Amino acid sequence: MRFFFPDSQDQVSPSFDFRTEEYSPFRVRQRDDRYAHEVLDPPPYDGILVSKAIVDGSTRGAGKYSEAQRSRLYRYGVRDFFRLPVDAHTLGDCGAFNYVNEPEPPYSVTEVADFYESIGFAAGVSVDHVVLAYDRRLDLEHGHEEWQERRRISLRYAQTFLDECIRRGEPFVPVGAAQGWDPTSYTDSVRQLQDMGYKRIALGGMVPLKTADILASLAAIDEVRNVDVELHLLGITRLESMSDFAQYGVTSFDSTAPFRQAFMDDKNNYHVSNGEHYVAIRVPQVDANPTVKRRVLAGELDQRTLVSAERQCLRALRAVGEDVKHTDETLAALTEYENLLGVKRSYLEQYERTLRNRPWEKCSCSLCRKHGIQIAIFRGTERNKSRGFHNLSVLCSQVRQLPQKTKEAA
């Protein structure tokens, strides 16, 4: 099972000083900053997925790349731009969720093929249009007209895309995109893509589905899937079900979930290998947190008092990072800071579990060994992304330890 990490130009800076919270004045973004595969050994994923919408933009506007970064990507190619290990896989797609509200994809087949070929992807997904629905009560013939049209568009583009790849001498492996709204529609999409000649097929639109619905669709697909056809799940993690997915021909998946949970989830911020998770310790930045700044400007909060309490929290956290005996005083400092901020939802009980269990000391990843407790602090992009990279390493380790199931053994 291969795990692909979708790129959104997420990096950490080796020059960032966690004590002063300052970067080197000579830092150059992207060139000096490091991707997860450059700061973790082994790399926390088997390959990267890069979307055209992220690089070139779409109907929503500009992508995540600056013009200089975009130019370097096209000039150097995907492997050199990302400084990838020799055995890393590369996969391109269109980023269909970025134009999900449009009646048609904003890219032509030629534009997408040019993107994949010029940047040097090993494989590329055909242009598709996401079906934002799932209803097992509606079979292949009774899906809503908009769903039917989006599936027809995806299949039409898939045929044109494959023809274009063949015309070019297949400079990358074509991956057909399958869309659907129930097991029968997904199955028919896979059947048609196989008939076109696809050997790799990506299943899209499944992110909102319950695991049982994904398994039902995979089981139905397996009835028609050729034995040499491999499936990729777009945007799906579901680690607990990966062995079940594998028995139905799934050989790869991509997801940003473990990375994003580091700073977007209420509680599931720091992952550990046994499947447990910890709450990261929130210390909002007085000078950088928009909500705090607004309240200071409105006269609701006293900036000098807040800055003093904030600094005391950081000092206490550094101390408890050195010695667990400072746990109580650290919790007291966090309590005072929360009271000053008027925090409506406190996580102090969960913070105590994090501080007493000290999961960063049990982790073997290079980021935890280097940064210690700093990686468990919810504050600023460097700490948060470092924790996200740690989460990726945990997921990848878990994937590599998955038992290999066969249909006979299942």
Residues marked active site are found at: 93, 254
Report yes or no: 383 and 377 within 8 Å, Cβ to Cβ.
yes
CA distance 59 to 101: 9
3-state helix, strand, coil in the chain (%, to 5): 45, 10, 40
CA distance 31 to 38: 12
Report yes or no: 239 and 401 within 8 Å, Cβ to Cβ.
no
Rounded to the nearest angstrom, the gap between the alpha carbon of residue 301 and the centroid of all alpha carbons in its chain is 36
CA distance 251 to 233: 9
Q: Interhelix angle for 211-222 vs 183-196, to 10°? A: 40
Give 9: exposed, middle or buried? Use CB within 10 Å, 0-12, 13-18, 19+: middle
CA distance 400 to 398: 5
Residue with tokens 């130009």: 9
Residue with tokens 């274009």: 164
Other C-beta atoms closer than 10 Å to the C-beta of 193 total 26
What stretches of 255-346 adopt beta strand conformation (E)? 270-271, 277-278, 281-282
Q: Are strands 2-6 and 230-233 parallel, antiparallel or unpaired?
A: unpaired
